[in-house]
Chain A
Amino acid sequence: MSESMLEARELHTYYGASHVLHGVNFRIDRGQTVGLMGRNGMGKSTLIRSMLGLVKPRHGEVRVCGTDMTGAEPYLIARQGIAYVPEGRGIFPNLTVHENLVMAARAGPDGRREWTQERVLATFPRLAERLGNGGWQLSGGEQQMLTIGRALMTNPDLLILDEATEGLAPQIAKEIWRIVGEIRAHGIATVIVDKNYAAVTAIANRNVILVKGRVVFDGDSASLLAQPELLHRHLGV
């Protein structure tokens, strides 16, 4: 059995009185790509935020690299080599592109510094032209590239992409998918939340579907694609 990178066991998370996650189990191993799917409001972002320590689950356990880190500070979880590209991107608009990148720079958990600013700029040439611009001056696609580039500056072992292509022009979305493939090829594990199930299943080892805070499917892409009624019922495609 390969090494677990991030794991949720029987997670129950609430927002105030509303019970969002109902005993969710989720796991991603080192180097894997896992697609996390489901309609809006089914708990995908809440699951991610619970695992990252940004929301405290009421019951259940979060394990990072095999260690129990339930309720740990988000920065401690991130330092285990987990980088997060949140829905809505989360760049710092009041910092320049250059500052967004260098403030995040950090060696990976094993001390490796493969991703430097030069390498990020080589991956995203668009950002190189925008280094001195304020974050608020970027287009949506550029903001997304900056968020991914910034996440890579932390030299992560796992990259979590929450709706990375949402609201982007098809050409830009395609570019993002190409980069995600490249990141994956470097051995960085990825959790991908995206509406484009075809693109997700094409690169994911496993896919998890959430419906109303419960896992209704967990399996490889071939078995998911072999059940079109599942896709239709849970994803509306």
Chain B
Amino acid sequence: MDVYSFFIQLLNGLQYGLLLFLVASGLTLIFGIMGIINLAHGSFYMIGAYMAFSLSTLTGSLFVAIIVGIVLSVVLGVALEWALFSHLYKRDHLEQVLLTYGLILVFEELRSLIVGNDVHGVAVPAIFNWSVPLTETLSYPVYRLFMSAVCVVLAVLLYLLMAKTRIGMMIRAGSSNREMVQSLGLNINLVYRLVFALGVALAAFAGMLAAPVSSVYPGMGTGVLIICFVVVVIGGIGSIWGALVASLLIGLADTFGKVLIPQAAGVTVYVLMAAILLWRPEGLFRRI
């Protein structure tokens, strides 16, 4: 592998990792702080991708589609938390798995009814539809750079939200003692509803952002869900910082695994997970 191919793979790995982070950060918050195993989290990614397809076909602009899609996914998140997830906090993991697995089936069926089972492509927006030339034969698509930049900005904002704001303090405090937060006169239920909606919106946004490069297909949420659980477990459940580091590790391991040892491409990330868990059973980072 020459230096340029290495560089391209490095960018691909980072970009994939950053995209995973958007989905995994919501998953780790919902799992680590609210205590809910949400198997339907990958569905939000799928819903986002399909929204990008339907809404951009409808409006003619991916950006408009993304803005409308974010609003819709926040509404979906608030509604789901209110109607279903808020009843799960005090229940055990089996019941959570049953409900959220059921939701996967419901979402897939609804998707099939509304947009059908075809695979779709979403066009890269015109202003990003060019490449940065690296050598005479190699170049790197600008849209992927744009995706990575957006993800980095969101990661920084998420970090600031959790570390520096009062809402972030409430979220973290709630993960250690929910009752005490309430006794201080703070409406933790509302905070959790917003956290859930934020997680849904991040996953859907990741799906929308990825639609032009990954295409849009039935069941696309499942693969993302599994890999994101790997990220959450490696990073340490509930740790945003851990999710970021683990996402990047997984992104790089997966990308370079496919290039360097293509025969074993399917297992590289799982071998990495096993190795990390042998070394640190609680994941790389403890809870926030």
Contacts and interface: CB of A to CB of B under 8 A. Distances in A.
B85 to A, nearest CB: 18
B213 interface: no
A103 interface: yes
* Interface residue SS majority, chain A: loop
B288 A75 contact: no
Nearest to B187: A75
Interface string B162-186: 0000100110110111011011111
Nearest to B186: A75
B187 A86 contact: no
B172 A84 contact: no
A94 B172 CA distance: 7
* Interface residue SS majority, chain B: helix
A93 B176 contact: yes
Contacts of B185: 75, 78-79, 106, 154
A189 B106 CA distance: 54
A86 B183 contact: yes
Interface residues of B, number: 20
Given A73-B187, A78-B184, A78-B185, A103 B170 contact: yes
B172 A74 contact: no
A95 interface: yes
Given A73-B187, A92-B177, A103 B169 contact: yes
10 contacts: A54-B179, A75-B182, A75-B185, A75-B186, A75-B188, A84-B183, A86-B180, A94-B288, A106-B185, A154-B185
Given A54-B183, A86-B180, A90-B180, 17 more contacts: A52-B183, A73-B182, A74-B182, A74-B183, A75-B183, A75-B184, A75-B188, A86-B183, A90-B183, A93-B176, A94-B175, A94-B288, A95-B169, A103-B166, A103-B169, A104-B186, A154-B185
Interface of B: 166, 169-170, 172-173, 175-177, 179-180, 182-189, 287-288
Interface of A: 52, 54, 73-75, 78-79, 83-84, 86, 90, 92-95, 99-100, 102-104, 106, 150-151, 154
